[in-house]
Homo-oligomer: A and B are copies of this chain.
Amino acid sequence: MTPDDVLGRFREYMVGPTRFATLMSCFELGIFDVLRERPDSTAVELGAAVGAKPDAVEQLLFLMVKEGFVAFDSDSRGYCLGALAGVAEADLGRARTYMNMIKVVALRQMFYLTESARTGTLVGLQELYGADGTLYQAVAEHDDLRQSWATLMDAVTARIDPWFFDTIDVPPGAQVLDLAGNTGLGAIHAYRHKASPGLRVTTFDLPPKEAECLANFEAHGVAEHCSFIGGDVFEGIPEGFDVVLIKHFLDMFDKDDVVRIVEGVAKSLHVGGQVHIMVPVYPENIEDSDNYNVDFFPAFFIGATMGQGGPQKLSTYTTWLEECGFEVTKAITKGSNDIPPDVIPVQAIISATKVA
């Protein structure tokens, strides 16, 4: 990599925010929707349809034409969908859900990343929303954060949970704890995928989640197999379980807290009990250019959600588990062929058994 390569790469970085915003705005203004219905619209026609000055429409579409997303006919001065025409609605919807979360939860907050890294606090959340604490606390107070965040997380859970439950083994009749299980969706999925006589799934999360969680169990018809225990993972994890599930959670913390959590899980399990973890992981070779976790999660966790945390390599999690009295029995990273090309997180599943 020559000095000119580095400088050229800097330029790529510098246009990152404007590129993202330009694409977002073309979606938000509805330009693509109009072009789908009325191909060959001019900037004047598009401007009238979306409520923006034709000059602005033309400016924003330059980049879409450069990318080949949209095509422009210089004779008719009409635009039509280019490569975007071939992308399925479901794929566009998934990508837009992620984009919207990034816009609302992270874009402005990135301005304050340096101060967040210095202080370990979410300076952006404080400045923009007057919110102390983490994103997960702020979503309770702020509709825009909650909607953009929850919509994404529901979509991610629906897509990724089947893979998780297909991959892990849960013994018949096991007593299962879903750690930091939020309002019970993971427990419901766990029961549905792994139902067996006597199987019981307990959601463990902060006490304010209880009412919504129990209502969800009722609504999904699993109330007699699922229950809720309120508490804080750092103040003690309920004991006496055969299986503990930890999904979308360990990546939120720095090593010291991850170790505290895993030690607590070790205490909660019988010897021979198992923990199944799903977490995004960095590639073992960080320079692997196909894995975008590195491009996203450090800034996202430190600057937008937690003020700390971020994924680790699978080998790092394995080492930490072993340090806490586990033997890792399975460690699988989801293959890039199984992940849609727009999806950033590369997830892994780690199964481990508590040893004596």
Measured between beta carbons, the chain B residues less than 8 angstroms from A4 are 341
A303 CB-CB contact with B under 8 Å: yes
- In angstroms, how far is the closest chain B Cβ from the Cβ of A87? 4
Q: How many copies of the chain does the oligomer comprise?
A: 2
Which residue of B is nearest A287, CB measured?
A: B66
Tell whether A21 pairs with B110 under 8 Å between CB atoms, given A95-B10, A118-B52, A344-B14: yes
A295 CB-CB contact with B under 8 Å: yes
A72 to B1, CA, bound (A): 16
A51 to B119, CA, bound (A): 9
CB of A53 within 8 A of CB of B289, answer no
CB of B342 within 8 A of CB of A99, answer no
1/0 per residue, CB under 8 A from B, across A272-290: the answer is 0000000000100011110
Give residues of chain A (83-98) contacting chain B, Cβ–Cβ below 8 Å: 83-84, 86-88, 91, 95, 98
State the majority secondary structure of interface residues on A. helix
Which residue of B is nearest A255, CB measured?
A: B55
A340 CB-CB contact with B under 8 Å: yes
Tell whether A111 pairs with B103 under 8 Å between CB atoms, given A18-B296, A342-B8: yes
Give residues of chain A (1-44) contacting chain B, Cβ–Cβ below 8 Å: 1-11, 13-25, 28-29
- In angstroms, how far is the closest chain B Cβ from the Cβ of A282? 6
CB of A53 within 8 A of CB of B5, answer no
Given A15-B292, A107-B108, 18 extra CB contacts under 8 A: A2-B86, A3-B86, A5-B83, A7-B87, A9-B69, A11-B292, A11-B344, A15-B295, A16-B20, A17-B107, A21-B111, A22-B299, A25-B114, A57-B117, A59-B298, A62-B298, A65-B287, A66-B286
